[in-house]
Structure 1
Amino acid sequence: MPKRQPKKYFGALPPQYHFVLNPFPDVRCSTCPNCGTKTGQRKLPLLIHIDPDTLIAINYTNRYCKRCDLLIGHRFDIERLLAETFREGKPEIIGNDYLIFATLEKKTWRESMQQPKSPAELSEKASDFKSYQELQMSMGGWFHKDQEPPARKPPPSTEWVSKADK
Structure 2
Amino acid sequence: MTKTKTPTVYGDDLPITSFQIKEIRKNANFQEDIKEEWVQWVTGDVARTSLTKPIPLTQAQAVRIIKAQTGTEPQEDNWGLFDKDNRQHLTLLAYMRTAQWTTPNGKHGEVADIDRLSDWLKSDKSPVRKPLKKMQPWEVSKIIEAFKGIVKSKYK
Please tell me the TM-score bracket, short chain as reference. Answer: under 0.3
In terms of fraction of residues, the more helix-rich structure is 2
Give the TM-score taking structure 1 as reference length: 0.21
The structure with the greater share of residues assigned to strand is: 1
